[in-house]
């Protein structure tokens, strides 16, 4: 098979079964598949039907079996506690197999659900792998969720056991996980049988004698459990998407297609080889953490870093660069939000120059649109490719990006790169007609989706069909609007409901944000539509100036209004703009545009469960109500 991007991409669309069968040869199978692509239940496609394997075996045991047990598998670096730990593949195998034994002794069987509600500690990754080892289905709930939101996920997933910790540690102080867990268990209708609690020295908690077990004591008594082969389409995990309201929306991922796809991405997108180090600065509670803190690097036989800290403040804007130097990271992956925070604190890149980053080959961004100014800043100071890419919780890996491991494709700043193998990306209008290259529309993916993407929504197949597959039959609706340009690069402009209709003209909030962020005084911007009696909608902009800005807010707003007029045109009717100290975000770094839009339009709104700091939204509400 040819190894250049164009050949691989076209082969993946023209001969998907042959393409993915070849990639699946890199994975250990207990039983070969009967069908590579099973379309018997279309539009719910399945990959590698009839095949059996175990993800934990592929991520841990097979590397030990291959004689690489002494290599570092997982490194924990915690500036908030001042601790570090290293685990070789052999040590990780021992810890995971014994934790799987604890679960087995608690009655957890193949197909049972286990919720993991933990901070960024090694045991969180071990919990995920232990579930995979015995065929249990894990659901990691981000550790910052409050009791009511955790209770919703307990009722939806109906776990038999919950794995948690006494506390999490943030720069602002200790987070009492156990109290939040106890509140959730009181609120939930589903009765959880047992909880396994990791006691952290900074804060030890009281255990319920009838329900709770001490992690360390249980591990000391446990016998190791072997890997259990499961069907390729057996659920590996349920991951609830951020920002959902009402009943949580649980994305279900499989064992087989997931392992095949992530292993391919590690080498071909991220360019990380077995034995090399990948640093993904995210949280295991989000899909990026699932794919590229835990499963991707370990499936690849690489070394992964679990970082319990922040991009700034633990202790400074050099935190990421210290990690890269200390552990020799070859690839760094984080969110644009983190990059903007670092840039704001260190506009001249002084902290970057303090560290030896000679082993770093590429810097990857995903999670939201990367503003061009921040990308150019990173490119100027780091001297390595800065590669944006676009994907979703639903897809589990990049829809579009730069296949750095295959070839150094020309970078177009402001785009998400080109479609990755298996993703037939189209841009459609409201009636389902394909848009010409370069024109804005709704981005869809022609079915079938490639391996590793969502199987369905947990317990709600119809919601999967209605939400993703019905609007454009034969296609998956991404929910994003954008453009595919003449060179095939994908430009993600906004969520579909963030396209503003100004007097009949469809305007992308992403384009307006790009213009605002390009101003040298602005480090971050958010744009959303507000109702207008004459034009239908008008754009409202919020901008965060850099730390060095000491000018007049009104003068800055006037400059921004003129800049939009010059670069987008009078049609944008951009006149409403406010200078703010910070923007409200979810804990995964997404700006809460929808909530701000509701506030500005005088609509009812609720404080999002995923918000990072509620006080920020209160500040913004004060601005918007003036």
Express each pLDDT in 517-536 by its tens digit: 999 999 999 999 898 877 77
Q: Over the chain, what is the mean pLDDT?
A: 93
Paired with 579 in beta bridges are 543
* Residue 504 confidence (pLDDT): 61
- On the CB side of 298, CA atoms within 13 Å amount to 32
- Tens of pLDDT, residue by residue over 430-482, are 889 999 999 989 999 999 999 999 999 999 999 999 999 999 999 999 999 99
Q: Is the pLDDT of residue 425 over 50?
A: yes
Q: Which tokens is 608 given?
A: 């999002």
Task: State residue 179's pLDDT score.
Answer: 94
**Dihedral sign, CA of 234, 236, 242, 245?**
positive
CA proximity to 553, closest of 602, 519, 600:
519
Pairwise CA distance, residues 545 & 532, whole Å: 27
For residue 144, what pLDDT is reported? Answer: 66
Q: Which tokens go with 578?
A: 């406010």
Q: Is the pLDDT of residue 391 over 50?
A: yes
Higher-scoring residue by pLDDT: 271, 493? 271
DSSP code for 402:
-
Which of these, 111, 145, 116, 142, lies nearest to 128 by C-alpha position?
116
Residues in the chain: 626
Q: For residue range 157-212, list pLDDT tens digits in order.
A: 999 999 999 999 988 889 999 999 999 999 999 999 999 999 999 999 999 999 99
The tens digit of pLDDT for each residue in 47-58 reads: 999 999 999 999
> Contact 538/395 with Cβ under 8 angstroms?
no
For residue 506, pLDDT beyond 70: no
The Cα-based distances of 111 to 58, 84, 107, 241, 567 in angstroms read 19, 34, 12, 21, 55
Whether 281 has a pLDDT exceeding 60, the answer reads yes
pLDDT at site 600: 87
pLDDT at position 606 over 80: no
Taking the CA of residue 32 as centre, how many other CA atoms within 13 Å lie in the half-sphere pointing to its CB? 6
Beta-sheet strands, E only, within 417-517: 418-419, 424-428, 441-446, 456-457, 475-484, 490-495, 499-502, 505-508
Q: Where are the alpha helices (DSSP H) in 358-488?
A: 372-382, 461-464
**Phi, psi torsion values for 66, nearest 5 degrees:** -85, 5
Residues 6+ apart with CB under 8 A from 28: 53, 57, 58, 62
In the chain, what is the straight-line distance between the N-terminal and C-terminal CA atoms, in Å?
62
| Percent of all residues in the chain with a pLDDT value above 70, rounded to a whole number | 98
Q: Which domains does the chain have, with CATH numbers?
A: 5-309+389-482 (3.40.50.12780), 503-624 (3.30.300.30)
Residue 280, phi then psi, degrees to nearest 5: -110, 110
Contact between 164 and 196 (Cβ < 8 Å): yes
Give the per-residue pLDDT at 242: 53
Residues 6+ apart with CB under 8 A from 548: 347
Question: Stretch 592-599: mean pLDDT, rounded?
Answer: 86
334 Cβ neighbours under 8 A, 6+ residues apart: 280, 281, 282, 311, 320, 364, 365
CB 240 within 8 A of CB 153: yes
User: What CA dihedral angle connects 314, 317, 318 and 323, to 10 degrees?
Assistant: 50
pLDDT at 403: 97
Closest listed residue to residue 162, CA positions, set 103, 111, 221, 245: 103
Q: How far apart are CA 506 and CA 430, in angstroms?
A: 12
Asked if 36 and 48 count as a contact pair (C-beta separation under 8 A), the reply is yes
**For residue 620, is pLDDT > 90?**
no
> DSSP assignment of 338-389, as one string?
HHHHHHHH-TT-TTGGGS--TT--EEEE-SSPPPHHHHHHHHHHH-S-EEE-
Say if strands 230-231 and 52-53 run parallel, antiparallel, or are unpaired. antiparallel
Radius of gyration (C-alpha) of the chain in whole angstroms: 24
Cα(194)–Cα(197) distance, integer angstroms: 10
Gap between the Cα atoms of 103 and 97, Å rounded: 10
Other C-beta atoms lying within 10 Å of the C-beta of residue 223: 11
* The pLDDT of residue 393: 92
Residue 401, pLDDT score: 98
> What residue has token string 């934990």?
56
What's the confidence (pLDDT) of residue 244?
38
Q: Are 303 and 72 in contact (CB under 8 A)?
A: yes
Average pLDDT over residues 369-390: 93
* Residue-wise pLDDT tens digits, 287-321: 999 999 999 999 999 999 999 999 999 999 999 99
Helices 372-382 and 509-517, packing angle to 10 deg: 50
Determine if the peptide bond prior to 43 is cis (ω within 30°).
yes
């Amino acid at each position: 098979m040819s190894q250049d991007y164009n050949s691989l991409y076209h082969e993946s669309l023209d001969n998907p079964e042959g393409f993915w069968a070849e990639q699946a040869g890199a994975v250990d199978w207990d039983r070969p598949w009967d069908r590579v692509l099973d379309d018997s239940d279309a539009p719910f496609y399945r990959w590698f039907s009839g095949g059996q394997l175990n993800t934990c075996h592929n991520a841990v045991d097979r590397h030990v079996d291959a004689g690489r047990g002494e290599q570092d598998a997982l490194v924990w670096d915690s500036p908030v506690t001042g601790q570090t730990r290293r685990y070789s593949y052999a040590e990780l195998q021992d810890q995971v197999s014994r934790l799987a034994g604890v679960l087995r002794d608690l009655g957890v069987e193949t197909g049972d659900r286990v919720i993991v509600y933990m901070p960024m500690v090694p045991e969180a990754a071990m919990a995920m792998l232990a579930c995979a080892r015995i065929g249990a289905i894990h659901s990691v709930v981000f550790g910052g969720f409050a009791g009511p939101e955790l209770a919703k996920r307990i009722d939806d997933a109906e776990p038999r056991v919950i794995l948690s910790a006494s506390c999490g540690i943030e720069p602002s102080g200790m987070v009492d996980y156990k109290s939040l867990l106890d509140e959730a268990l009181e609120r939930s209708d589903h009765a959880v049988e047992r909880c396994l609690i990791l006691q952290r020295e900074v804060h030890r908690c009281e255990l319920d004698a009838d329900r709770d077990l001490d992690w360390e004591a249980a591990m000391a008594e446990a016998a190791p459990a072997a890997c259990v082969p499961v069907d390729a389409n057996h659920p590996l995990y349920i991951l609830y998407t951020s920002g959902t309201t009402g009943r949580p929306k649980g994305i279900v991922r499989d064992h087989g297609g997931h392992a095949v796809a992530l292993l391919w991405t590690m080498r071909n997108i991220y360019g990380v080889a077995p034995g090399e180090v990948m640093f993904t600065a995210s949280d295991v509670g989000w899909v990026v953490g699932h794919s590229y803190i835990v499963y991707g690097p370990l499936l690849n036989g690489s070394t992964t870093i679990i970082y319990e800290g922040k991009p700034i403040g633990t202790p400074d804007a050099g935190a990421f660069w210290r990690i890269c130097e200390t552990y020799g990271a070859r690839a760094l992956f984080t969110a644009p939000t983190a990059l903007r925070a670092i840039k704001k604190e260190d506009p001249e890149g002084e902290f970057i120059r303090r560290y030896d980053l000679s082993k770093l080959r590429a810097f990857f961004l995903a999670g939201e649109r990367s503003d061009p100014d921040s990308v150019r800043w990173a490119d100027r100071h780091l001297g390595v490719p800065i590669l944006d890419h676009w994907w979703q919780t639903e897809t589990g890996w990049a829809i579009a990006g730069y296949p750095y491991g295959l070839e150094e494709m020309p970078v177009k700043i402001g785009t998400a790169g080109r479609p990755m193998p298996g993703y037939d990306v189209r841009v459609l209008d409201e009636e389902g007609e394909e848009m010409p290259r370069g024109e804005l529309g709704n981005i869809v993916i022609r079915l079938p989706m490639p391996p590793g993407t969502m199987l369905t929504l947990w317990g709600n197949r119809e919601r999967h069909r209605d939400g993703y597959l019905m609007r454009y039959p034969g296609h998956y609706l991404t929910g994003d609007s954008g453009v595919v340009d003449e060179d095939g690069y994908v430009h993600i402009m906004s969520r579909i409901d963030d396209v503003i209709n100004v007097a009949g003209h469809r305007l992308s909030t992403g384009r307006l944000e790009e213009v605002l962020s390009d101003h040298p005084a602005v480090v971050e911007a958010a744009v959303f539509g507000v109702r207008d009696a004459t034009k239908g909608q008008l754009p409202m902009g919020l901008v965060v100036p850099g730390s060095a800005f000491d000018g007049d807010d009104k003068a800055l707003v006037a400059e921004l209004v003129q800049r939009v007029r010059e670069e987008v045109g009078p049609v944008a009717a951009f006149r409403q703009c406010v200078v703010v100290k910070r923007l409200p975000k979810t804990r995964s770094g997404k700006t809460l545009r929808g909530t701000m839009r509701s506030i500005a339009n005088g609509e009812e709104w609720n404080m999002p469960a995923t918000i990072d700091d509620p006080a920020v939204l209160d500040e913004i509400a004060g601005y918007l109500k003036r």
